[in-house]
Amino acid sequence: MTATVASGLADVARSDASLRAFLRGLPGVDQVGADQRAAMLGTRSIKTSAKEWAIDLAIRMVDLTTLEGADTPGKVRALCAKARRPDPEDPSCPPVAALCVYPAMVPVAFDSLKGTGIHLASVATAFPSGQAPLAVKLADTQAAVRDGADEIDMVINRGAFLSGRYLEVFEEIVAVEQSCGDAHLKVILETGELATYDNVRRASWLAMIAGADFIKTSTGKVQPAATPPVTLVMLEAVRDFHETTGLQVGVKAAGGIRTAKDAIKYLVLVNETVGEAWLHPDRFRFGASTLLNDLLMQRSKLATGRYAGPNYFTLD
């Protein structure tokens, strides 16, 4: 296909039949077993120094997100300020990984984030439904990159995937990837619409073979969004892909993660599935908006021994 297609697996996508054979040949996922594994890891008790470390890491992994029709330049600028200094009263608090906005807001965010080292992510490809002609999706992507986004969160064509037209999905990802230029590509599987863990595993491999830098659970606009077992299945795919190709693909859990406690459970999943190489903002992200304030509240609780009221943390 192209140079960006993962080496060693390039010929997998030479035809619809070969891609289908490969994806159908992946080992199945037993739903009960995957749920149990995720639940068991959810019982890990992360306390004191481990909790401090995990909360700071989780803050550094947040893609601070606003994806509303009502977004304004003012709100985006406010979020940029928050991304830089999440806790205005505590300079030791690290910045978040990225800001994530619609393409129309990219120019505003780009100006505010210039020189901060914080990444600027934009959803593209007719997010969240992906129901637009390919040319529109590519134009959407190109506009976001042109205006300064260095990370693109695209949605896959779920209709094509669910009807078994895997090559169509694949070629679309490759096309978007080529429109991204130097920007990193996160491929949103929208696992809530894929329905089975077998599909999640197949879609994960499909996206990785097509050149995704990250695979991402959800748009946040569909329920269920990220869940621990879905993330576990994706982390296993990433681990196995790394063993096959040597390439490290990141995972982004997005939607529905609202508390520090939940975020820490995801970090445990990462730790005990792919290991410490993925415990880095370049390899794991949280797509979230309300999560950050809970992380900040728990962080200050650990430092001071008491909870501050919600009014001590800025609302977006």
Pick from 267, 291, 292, 295: which binds another protein (CB under 8 A)?
A: 267
* Min CB(73)–another protein separation in Å: 37
- CA dist 56 → 15, 33, 138, 221, 286 (Å): 45, 31, 36, 27, 13
Q: Which stretch binds another protein (CB under 8 A): 31-39, 61-69, 95-103, 306-314?
A: 31-39
**260 is an interface residue for another protein by CB under 8 A:** no
Interacting positions 53-72 with another protein (CB under 8 A): 53-54
Pick from 2, 24, 30, 111: which binds another protein (CB under 8 A)?
A: 30
* Min CB(91)–another protein separation in Å: 21
Q: Which stretch binds another protein (CB under 8 A): 28-36, 89-97, 121-129, 246-254?
A: 28-36
**305 is an interface residue for another protein by CB under 8 A:** no
Q: Is 314 strand, coil or helix?
A: coil
CA gap 128, 222 in Å, rounded = 9
Does residue 198 have an active-site annotation? no
Q: Is 97 strand, coil or helix?
A: coil
Pick from 15, 36, 72, 131: which binds another protein (CB under 8 A)?
A: 36
Q: Which stretch binds another protein (CB under 8 A): 30-38, 90-98, 210-218, 300-308?
A: 30-38
Does residue 153 have an active-site annotation? yes
Q: Which stretch binds another protein (CB under 8 A): 42-50, 110-118, 144-152, 154-162?
A: 42-50
Of 133, 139, 127, 185, residue with least CA distance to 2: 185
Q: To 10 degrees, what angle do helices 197-209 and 166-179 make?
A: 40
∠ CA 86-281-284, nearest 5°, is 115
CA gap 133, 303 in Å, rounded = 51
Q: Are 249 and 281 in contact (CB under 8 A)?
A: no
Does residue 150 have an active-site annotation? no
Alpha-carbon radius of gyration of the chain? 19
Q: Which residues are catalytically annotated?
A: 153, 216, 252
> Which residue ranges make up the site for another protein (CB under 8 A)?
27-30, 32-34, 36-37, 43-51, 53-54, 236, 267-268, 271-272, 276, 279
